[in-house]
Structure 1
Amino acid sequence: MSMTQIGLLTGLVLGLAGAFGGFGAFVFVLVFGGLGLLVGRYLDGKLDLSQFSGRDRS
């Protein structure tokens, strides 16, 4: 299992643990799932955040 998958699952589990029902809970889980996915992709090296820091990697 890749770090991306682990990050996504972790975000979804945390979101489910924090909310139980309704549209607000859906949005809550969606946000935590997205954050988990981003963290997992960063740990896998598939997400480059250097473009946001204003510094080049050269």
Structure 2
Amino acid sequence: MSATIGGALIGALFAVAALVFGFWGFLLVVLFTAIGALVARVASGQLDLRALANVFSGRRTS
């Protein structure tokens, strides 16, 4: 699946959520989608939590 198709599907999901659940339901769907994306990246090894924590704490290495 290309990034364009994936983005369109996510946009359609958000639009349906906004229409069905209202504003706060929409925000909840967006929040859970973002959490799911982060968990998937950590599980696949594409996101290193230790490096991310170092960036936010100011201990960045170049």
- TM bucket, shorter chain: 0.5 to 0.7
- The TM-score with structure 1 as length reference comes to 0.54
SS at match of 1:47: coil
Aligned partner of 1:21 in structure 2 is: 21
Structure 1 gaps, min length 5: 1-11
Runs (4+) of structure 1 moved beyond 3 Å? none
Q: Which has the higher helix share?
A: 2
Calculate the aligned-residue CA RMSD, in Å: 2.4
1:33 and 1:21 mapped to 2: Cα distance? 15
Q: Identify which of structures 1 and 2 has the higher relative contact order when contacts are C-alpha pairs closer than 8 Å and 6+ apart.
A: 1
Please list the CA deviations of residues 5-34 of structure 1 after superposition, one character each: whole Å capped at 9, or x if unmatched.
Answer: xxxxxxx8xxx7xxx510000000000000
SS at match of 1:46: coil
Aligned partner of 1:33 in structure 2 is: 33
1:24 and 1:41 mapped to 2: Cα distance? 26
| TM-fit CA distance, 1:36 | 0.3
Say whether residues 1:46 and 2:46 are aligned partners.
Answer: yes
Structure 2 gaps, min length 5: 1-12, 58-62
| TM-fit CA distance, 1:46 | 0.2
- Radius of gyration: which is bigger? 2
Identity %: 38
1:36 and 1:22 mapped to 2: Cα distance? 21
Between the two proteins, the alignment pairs up a number of residues equal to 37
